Amino acid sequence: MNTGHTRLHFVDFGPRDTEPIVFLGSLASTWQMWIPQLDAVASTRRVIAFDHHGHGNSALKEGPLSVAAMAEDVVATLDELGVEKCGVVGLSLGGLVAQQMVLVNPQRVTKVALLATRATFQPASQWDAYIEHAITHGMEAQAAAMIPQWFGRDFAQTHPATVAGFQQMIAGISCEGFVAAFRALGEEDFRPRLHQISVPTLVIAGRGDCVTPVEGLEEIAALIPNARLVEVDAEGHLINIESEREVTRLIQQHFF
């Protein structure tokens, strides 16, 4: 068992005699971003959704945060739960953590789904303005800036309560946790290693997502042997919410 780790907050639903599917969310989110998928899958499979460090009810790790440390703490928390093998779904930052998990622990991750993410978010300097904005103006202002990226205009107009809920979610993330995770996000480049992934891999891109454009997901799918790439109609970054039914169906097909 891993030691010296930060125990992450998680929720755990579904039948315990099934292999779990782990859900890892985006920067500035909590486990609640996965509620539609958790509800849909938990009737037949165990599902475990995590809060990243400094997000939701997970404590912030001391010192600089890294994607490697984030993945290690997910695995260590799974150790405590007695979970030896699992599938993993990751979106955006969660997709980076998922890539790290399957590369370092290939014997434990049986299948992986990478949603609205990249193999690298470098150079880290491109995110300096976002980080400075959060530090200077606070997370409420950061939430207002991020919501138009998370959801397309048409979806936002027809789902005002959903959008308001996610804006409140972002505003509730600690600035320290947001900054630490954002800095970790900009450090990794998995492109030289993705050919090592041998488990069944599903890659889902949103056609209008400006945060993680389709081209980046195409690159991931091209570098992972036998990966399957699917595009959904989402205009925003949170494709699991904006294209909820299609993304849920794809996840169910992939893991069942």
Tokens of 227: 């990966």
pLDDT digits 0-9 by tens, 202-252 = 999 999 999 999 999 999 999 999 999 999 999 999 999 999 999 999 999
Domains identified in the chain and CATH numbers: 10-255 (3.40.50.1820)
Secondary structure of 46-68 as H, E, C letters: CEEEECCCCCCCCCCCCCCCCHH
CA distance 250 to 222: 19
CA distance 187 to 1: 27
pLDDT digits 0-9 by tens, 226-238 = 999 999 999 999 9
Taking 50 as the threshold, does the pLDDT of residue 2 lie above it? Answer: no
CA distance 19 to 177: 30
Inter-residue contact 111 to 87 (CB < 8 Å): yes
Please compute, for residue 5, the number of CA atoms within 13 A of its CA located in the half-sphere on the CB side. 22
Closest CA to 230 of 194, 203, 256, 199: 203
Q: What integer is the mean pLDDT of 71-88? A: 97
pLDDT digits 0-9 by tens, 103-112 = 999 999 999 9
Instruction: Specify the pTM.
Output: 0.96
Q: What integer is the mean pLDDT of 76-95? A: 97
Residue with tokens 């959801």: 151
Residue with tokens 């606070």: 138
What pLDDT is stored for residue 130 in this prediction? Answer: 84
Inter-residue contact 217 to 204 (CB < 8 Å): yes
Using 50, 70 and 90 to split pLDDT, how confident is the model at 3? very low
Instruction: Report the percentage of the chain scoring pLDDT > 70.
Output: 98
What pLDDT is stored for residue 4 in this prediction? Answer: 67
